[in-house]
A = this chain, B = another copy of it.
Amino acid sequence: MWDCVLVRYSEIAIKSRPVRSRFERILVNNISLALKGCLRDYRVQRKWGRIVVEAKNTDRVCERLSYVFGVVSISPAKRLSLRGLPKFVERNVSKLVQKGPFAVRVTRVGEHSFTSRDMERKLGEIVVKKTGKKVNLKEPASTLHVEIREKDAYVYNDVISGPMGLPLGSQGKVYCFVNDKLGILAAWLMMKRGCRPIIFHTAPVDELDRWSPGMELEKTEISSLEELAERAKGDETPVVLADTLNTASIEGIKADDERFYCVLRPLIGYTEDMVKELRKRVLG
């Protein structure tokens, strides 16, 4: 039934118009790369603070986009003309409203002769008439969402969380040193922060690949942190290390700070519980 995917992204981190525009361009590009090669027909469009992906296989789109940083949430949806909306709901009511009591939620942008409330009531009546189901606005078992934009309407049921963060490559490059799983987590955090990672590894880092779908990560196998220090001599690119207060001593931190131009340690405030939770999220 679905023929597109609504992609929501954050604008909080965006201050000025040009920065926001750049952020959106990178995100659209990353989404296109993620879908290229795994889908035949699709179209990625920027619209009113949303990105809309038109595609037949919306499951596949959702699966890929759940690994694209910068995506806040996604919804497989059906695009309709506003005029066709009531008829569509009537025809597909059994798919749109499944078990138990339901709710209709309408959001609206543009000038219309009705309020969002009016439309919720109208569609709700259609559902009740066709199915006999009860309305429950507080704790519905299923929700029929409608996003109305001028003369278009997007109908959807689910809101699936994305990985959040900033689009990969929207921030500067960093050298990530990976010699264990913690190293992967530290690199992941900086990737989520938008940085473009260049990976120097003594251990396998394949787990990072799925977090840059459609984009090859830059990787170099090395033998030790000393080797990275040697290679990075005179280089002002920040180096990402996986130190936590469990694994590193203050003296060790001091020594590494002197060895590199600049060291970033995204895990330094993490407890083992937090690391464990992050591991589950990143490594599955």
Interface residues of A (CB under 8 A from B): 10, 12-13, 164-166, 171-172, 186, 189-190, 192-195, 236, 238, 245-246, 250, 253-254, 257, 261-274, 276
Contacts and interface: CB of A to CB of B under 8 A. Distances in A.
Contacts of A166: 271
A19 B194 CA distance: 38
Given A238-B250, A250-B262, A257-B257, A190 B271 contact: no
The 6 closest A-B pairs by CB, nearest first: A266-B269, A189-B269, A13-B272, A254-B262, A257-B257, A250-B262
A13 B271 contact: yes
Contacts of A246: 13
A193 B270 contact: yes
A26 B87 CA distance: 65
A102 to B, nearest CB: 17
A283 to B, nearest CB: 17
Contact of A276 (B12, B189, B195, B265): B12
A177 to B, nearest CB: 15
Contacts of A189: 269
Nearest to A72: B273
A220 to B, nearest CB: 21
Contact of A269 (B164, B193, B250, B254): B193
Nearest to A272: B13
